[in-house]
Structure 1
Amino acid sequence: MGVGRPVVLIAVVTLACLGFSAEVMVSLGAVALLGKVLFALAVGLVEDLMFRGVLLSGLRGSRVPELAVMLITSAAFGLMHLVGVIGGEPLDSTLLQAFTASLMGATLYLALRVSGTLLVPILLHALWDLALDLDVSALPLAGTLHVVGFLLFNLGAFVAIALVIVGAVRARRSRVAAGGPVVAN
C-alpha cells in the first residue's frame, strides 16, 4: 500500500463521515471553497512543521524514547489549541478541542512514522481541518447530544485512520520480509 492510497482512503472516510456533498461546493462557491482548501493546507503545513518537524526532530536528537516523543509532541499539539480561550471560545469546547487535537497529534505522528515523510501528516491534517471547517455534519445536534456525536465521530475517524496506518505497516513489513524497498523513517 503506497502513501497515496491511505491518504485517499482517509479523505473519503472523513468526508463521508461528515456528509460531504456537491451541495457544499455549490453553496460555498468555487472561490470560497478554494480559499478554505488553501487555508487548511497552510494550517496543516505550519502546525505539522512546528510539531512533527521541529519539535519532533529536537526530541529525537536528545535521545528521548520514541513513545515519549509521541506523547510530548501530541500533548504539545493539543495544548496549543487551548489558545482558543484567549480568543473568547468557551472553556468546555476548547478543552474538548485540545483533547481531540492531542489524539489527532498522535495519529499524525504515527502517519509520519509509517510513511517516512512529513507530507502525509500535512495532507491528513489539512483534510481533517477542511472537513471540520466545512461544518457539513449530517446530524446537526444540540447540547450534550452534540458533544456525544462529536466524540463518536472523532472516535470513528481515528479508528479509520488507525486501520489505514495498520494496513500500511503490514504492507511495509511484507515488503521488508520479501526484500523489497522500504521508505526510510
Structure 2
Amino acid sequence: ITQENPAITNADFEVKKAWYALDNLMINAGMKNIRFWRRYQIDQRSGVLAAFCVKIWARCEAGEPEKTKPAVSAGTCMRQGEIPKMARPAVLTIAGSTYEVKYWYQVLEHTVKTVYEKEPQKFDRIVREYPGYFSDDPSRYKSRIGSYSYKSRFGRYQIRDMCLNIVRLVGWNEEVWCLTCE
C-alpha cells in the first residue's frame, strides 16, 4: 500500500523496503524492519490488514445495527478466522499431547517444546525460517528450548499463525494442532 506503486511495482524487496521507509502511511512503517518477504510475513501482514479492516468497517446489514457476535463456543479449534479480543486460551492439543494454558505465550512455548521433542532433527529448519525470533545465544530471549532461546511474547494472531506455520514446517498436518479458548 503506497502512492508510489507504479514506480516500484517490479522492484525487488530491498528497493521496496527503502520506499516503504520513506512512506507516510503508518501501515508501511513496520516494513523497513522486515528482513525477509516470504509466505509467513505475507500472511502476517494480511492478518494485520484484515484486523484493521474489521475494526474500521463494522459488519452490519444496511440500516440494521451491528449484531453482537457470540463468544467463542467451547470446543472450537482456533486454527483460522477471527479470535475475539477477550478470548483467552484454555487447552492446547498438539500431536496427541494436551496442555492447559492461560496465556498466549504458553501456546507458543508448548508448540515449540512439542515440535522440538518429537522432531529434533527438523528444528533447525524452524530456526532458519525465523532468524529474528530464535537465537543460539541462550540469554538473548526469556524462553528457551535446547541450546536456543526464542521470543515468545506476541499477540494472539501472531502466536496462532506462527504455531501453525511451525507445525507445517516440520511436515505435520495442521489438524494435529488445536487451541480452544474460553
- Structure whose residues are more often strand by fraction: 2
Give the alignment's TM-score, normalised by structure 2: 0.29
Q: Which has the higher contact order (CA 8 A, sep 6+)?
A: 1
Give the alignment's TM-score, normalised by structure 1: 0.29
- Structure whose residues are more often helix by fraction: 1
